Amino acid sequence: MQRCHGREIVAGIMFEQSKPALGSEIVAEASMAYTGTAIGASELAATGGDGSDDLKRHFRLGESLIHSVLVACGVLSMLTTLGIVIVLGIESWRFFRVPEVTLWEFVTNTVWQPRINEFGMLPLLSATLMTSFIAMLVALPLGLMAAIYMSEYATPRTRGVLKPVLELLAGIPTVVYGYFALTFMTPLLRTILGKDIVEIYNTASAGIVIGILIIPLVASMSEDALRAVPSGLREAAYGLGGTKFETAIQVVLPAALSGVTAAFIVAVARAVGETMVVALAAGAGPNLTANPFVGAETITGHIARISGGDLSYDSIDYQSIFALAFVLFLMTLSLNIFSRWLMRRFRQEYQ
């Protein structure tokens, strides 16, 4: 037998030596790696080390400071809210301890005249609800239509221009809106409907301007909810022959209903708490009326008006401010809780 360049010659017949299979090489390398790992682990166990020194979390001063600042900010916000509730609760309790005031009369009486010990909140509450209702008639349809346009129709370039303009409306001081209602909206209503019908101070002009004020809030939150709907739903609707309008109204809007409803409720809470517009344009006297074209004072307007006067610290007039403020707090808190419940109850999650 002779060998020639990897071949064997036996009795004049040449045979070629077979090379090792690729699978056997991989198995050999894997076994060597496993053996090396086992040897390393046995050496580590023999030395008594566990490798925890390399895995320990090292102390970083910057990270610890940032964490502490964030925790302090969260705790501070909670303490601030708790302090507001405590102050409102204590002062309201002092108000209702006065013999001239009862909770039943406070809720049901139709006259608010603190100087003669008449503390019926219905005139102030009715004006607050009226201005908020008018504001919703303006803000909800306009804000929702703007949100649908930015989400479904506008090009990225148009959206990039339109959204900052809406946010600019939200940044205008409310006192400017108040004078806008007094010097533009009220004369416009008096020109259209007549000076005999529309008074100079009225809840209609205040409500309309409050609606303009909160349009950016409704549009921004609603647009975020609409854009969160997966594009697959839109594509499926287009595949079934739906138009862009049908897709937006019948598919996208129902899918984002929880977020849009929450935006509406937050807008209502914003309208209820508005102060400067109603203080300047709605009127300066409590008036229980269903006519939006006459003057009527809201809760926030009343607080702003009498808190700037000469009120003694411990007088019943001073304490009545906190009772009204506590009513506003309960209204806005209830609306916020209701909006969060709606979002959790009707929220749809998509894969």
Instruction: Assign residue 331 the CATH number of its domain.
Output: 1.10.3720.10
pLDDT in tens, 9-65: 444 444 444 444 444 444 444 455 444 544 454 554 555 455 555 556 676 777 888
How many domains is the chain built from?
Answer: 3
Same domain, 65 and 143: no
The answer to whether the CB of 174 falls within 8 A of the CB of 277 is yes
pLDDT in tens, 79-107: 998 998 898 888 888 888 888 888 888 88
Same domain, 42 and 75: no
Residue 54 placed within a domain: no
Residue 119, beta-bridge partner list: 112
Find the range with the poorest average confidence among 73-82, 119-128, 201-210, 312-321. 312-321
Residue 284 placed within a domain: yes
Same domain, 43 and 125: no
Query: Structural domain of residue 342, as residue ranges?
Result: 104-346
Query: DSSP H helical segments within the chain, as ranges?
Result: 22-47, 52-55, 61-97, 103-108, 122-148, 156-171, 174-180, 186-193, 203-227, 231-239, 244-247, 253-255, 257-272, 276-281, 299-307, 316-346
- CA 152 – CA 246 distance, rounded (Å): 11
Backbone torsion region of residue 298, taken as left when φ is above 0, otherwise alpha when ψ lies between -120 and 50, otherwise beta: beta
